Structure 1
Amino acid sequence: MIDLIFLLLVFFMLATRFGGQNGLQLDVAGPSANAGGAVWNGPPRLIDLRGEGLALNGVPVAPEALVAALEPLMQDKGDALILRTGEGAGMQELGAVLDLLQKAGMVRILLVE
């Protein structure tokens, strides 16, 4: 009888989904996503994420100062940002930067290698 209880316990532990509610929402679109006639507006907004830290348009910037440094370069929160990852940048750092930008209301982020 105890074997059956342990078997059911293991089954329910493996069948349960944990932590699926707090993920990042990503809108993955193909090359035809820009077919609506959207054009680039304003100055360049290139965020480099590397092992040694963040850089905005080639100038090193602290993660907590990134949003403040981006605001003068943007007309509104809907302007596109280019986020480029490099050597030494892990998924955790990428997720942290995406979460930071999403919390600031910046949702048009183009992720490139």
Structure 2
Amino acid sequence: MHLARSNRKVRLRPSLTPMIDVVFLLMVFFMLAAQYSRETTLSVHAAPRSAENTPYVGPPRLVDVTPQGFLLNGVTTPFAQLTEQLSFLMSDPADTILVRASDGVSVQELVDLLGHLSAAGLPNAVLVEGQ
């Protein structure tokens, strides 16, 4: 038996299905990786260097953040009652609140505290150096 050979070249067309699959996978990846929430910012102020020689005026409002919890003027205060206790010491919501973090405190705890104070209408928290 003799098979005849054709001189015609058959053009193979590449399939687009794998490319379309890859494009859809990339779309799904970027859609899942995108952040849909609005990011919020906290304004954090550091005590100015010129304030070292200036005495603090007003009732003490020092919030110490420790690994064990929160201290308001040296007294252990639960996180939920912190703003209520601070309101007794403040004549105006714009009064300055001093925040001091001790060793071993995570940054997230400090951010949670600053966010809690800001949400409660007490935006003037100033970070001071710990001892």
Range of TM-score over shorter length: 0.7 to 0.9
Instruction: Give unmatched runs, 5+ long, in structure 2.
Output: 1-19
Q: Which residue in the other structure is 2:27 paired with?
A: 8
Kindly report which structure 2 residues correspond to 1:16-95, keeping only aligned pairs within 5 A, or say none: 16-19=34-37, 21-26=38-43, 31=48, 40-95=56-111
**Distance in structure 2 (CA, Å) of the matches to 1:22 and 1:10:** 21
**8 Å contact from structure 1 (residues 48, 55) kept in 2:** yes
Number of paired residues?
106
Q: CA deviation at 1:62?
A: 0.9
Cα root mean square deviation, aligned = 2.6
Identity fraction in percent: 31
Gapped regions of structure 1 (runs ≥ 5): none
Which structure has greater helix proportion? 1
Structure 2 length as normaliser, TM-score?
A: 0.66
Quick check: 2:42–2:115 contact (8 Å CA) kept in 1?
Answer: no
1:100 equivalent among 116, 126, 129 = 116
Q: 1:77 & 1:8 partners in 2: Cα distance?
A: 47
The answer to whether the 8 A contact 1:42-1:75 is kept is no
> Which has more radius of gyration?
2
